[in-house]
Chains A and B, each alone.
Chain A
């Protein structure tokens, strides 16, 4: 395939996913907005107004970046795991597999769909957050980089899950038992500096902690962890997941019979 044909094939995949995301907006875009609005109201406004500032930020300001990131993570992951698994289940994936698209392009196509939905949800939740508090942006480049890398990472993760899922249960096990606990324990609602040293060290093994802190740093310039380390961890995981997927697609594991 020439680069131009590859671009057309990529655009076709992305356009299809965009149309689908917008067509079923009440399932793809609305739920994270409703959920995070409830978080803003209950934790940010009702409970948060009773709490002391963290890193010099009001509690609602402190949790907004983490809640945006939580929506981005969930949306990106669910987008790729569901589109890929449904495509396998309904065999519409065959339309892509019989085409001359190289494996890496198929991966890029699915992952870009997840990134697109993650960014759409992130922007929507961010706009809703502005109704509850003032958000300053300290570093726009780091903000965009963190958003794109995080949504890329979890889109890659969703695709790996989709390749291994044997049924509909297989799509929800990782989000329920791995992703949700790691996200909630990833420093959305607290600073790990409030913990004793032992639990601070334990928290450092949670990769989501680095993403949320990088994002909060981009907004307010405060972070529990050095921003360079945060971004390095993110890039490292993206590369690792990408290599795993390339290997899976090359061998046909979870993709072909």
Chain B
């Protein structure tokens, strides 16, 4: 089985601004593999290192040491090739709010080398699937929060990525829209797109994902199938398992401090 993502002994330390504080170790030797076709949950509290890990995979963050590969292409020495496989839906809105929906998507396709005419054709089914077709000429700042999230999904899919990384895609989205996004994500996963999802809605991860990793303070606590994780913890809800694991981490840390 091919690995869509393979990460080995990955470290990232952020230097503090000059004269302020000490360096922050965001990742401390993370090792992880995501198989092609998987629907994978990357869970952890705020500041655990999820976004840093995603940043390294997508070329937004420079790793300190270790290895990260996308479909066997190292993200540092073969970055251009590795990036062709990825579509990223970031946590924060990062599109030009003055641009129209269609222009945002077509421009993104252009950065991947898809000519405008081709991108316009490719955008139609994606926008229709995500319920944005009627809004294609609307400036993005006029969209609702849920629509802005879906716009970022559409933008990430325009070049036909084999790996879709979603960093808290349903934050601030109402229940109905969240469910429709689930349906859409299940559909594209079934069609072959590997998906990595970070979310604070643990029900979402439980419903959608086959495999899960929980990260805390830059280290992976567990990495196994969702089914086996829940079975190992007496068929508890994922939320309880998560709290137990994160809590256990805190207790260990307190003991070490004492």
A binds B: yes
A92 located at the interface, meaning its Cβ lies under 8 Å from any Cβ of chain B in the complex: yes
Chain A residues whose C-beta falls within 8 Å of the C-beta of B59 in the assembled complex: 97-98, 256
Contact-residue size bin, chain A (C-beta under 8 Å from the other chain) = 20 to 34
Chain A residues whose C-beta falls within 8 Å of the C-beta of B110 in the assembled complex: 8-9, 11-13, 15
> Closest B-chain residue to A251, C-beta based?
B62
B107 touches A95 (CB 8 A): yes
A136 located at the interface, meaning its Cβ lies under 8 Å from any Cβ of chain B in the complex: no
Which residues does B use to contact A, with CB under 8 Å? 14, 55, 58-62, 79-81, 83-84, 86, 88, 90, 92, 94-96, 107-108, 110-116, 155
Chain B residues whose C-beta falls within 8 Å of the C-beta of A15 in the assembled complex: 110
Chain A residues whose C-beta falls within 8 Å of the C-beta of B84 in the assembled complex: 1, 100
| Interface 1/0 per residue, A246-257 and B, CB below 8 Å | 000001100011
Chain B residues whose C-beta falls within 8 Å of the C-beta of A13 in the assembled complex: 110-111
The smallest beta-carbon distance between A215 and chain B, in angstroms, is 35
A257 touches B112 (CB 8 A): no
Complex Cα distance, B89 from A94, in Å, reads 11
| Interface 1/0 per residue, A37-74 and B, CB below 8 Å | 00000000000000000000000000000000000000
Additional A-B contact list (16), CB under 8 Å, known A90-B94, A256-B59: A2-B113, A5-B112, A11-B110, A13-B111, A16-B107, A94-B60, A94-B88, A95-B94, A95-B95, A97-B60, A98-B59, A98-B86, A99-B108, A100-B83, A101-B80, A256-B60
Given A98-B60, A257-B14, A257-B60, answer yes or no on A8-B113 (Cβ-Cβ < 8 Å): yes
A95 touches B108 (CB 8 A): yes
| Interface 1/0 per residue, A102-121 and B, CB below 8 Å | 10000000000000000000
B62 touches A5 (CB 8 A): no
Which residues does A use to contact B, with CB under 8 Å? 1-2, 4-6, 8-9, 11-13, 15-16, 90-92, 94-102, 251-252, 256-257
> Closest B-chain residue to A256, C-beta based?
B62
A92 touches B96 (CB 8 A): yes
> Closest B-chain residue to A3, C-beta based?
B113
The smallest beta-carbon distance between B119 and chain A, in angstroms, is 9
Chain A residues whose C-beta falls within 8 Å of the C-beta of B14 in the assembled complex: 257
Complex Cα distance, B81 from A66, in Å, reads 46
Complex Cα distance, B95 from A106, in Å, reads 18
B60 touches A1 (CB 8 A): no
> Closest A-chain residue to B159, C-beta based?
A99
Chain A residues whose C-beta falls within 8 Å of the C-beta of B155 in the assembled complex: 95
Chain B residues whose C-beta falls within 8 Å of the C-beta of A6 in the assembled complex: 113
B112 touches A9 (CB 8 A): yes
In-complex Cβ contact of A12 among B61, B80, B111 (8 A): B111
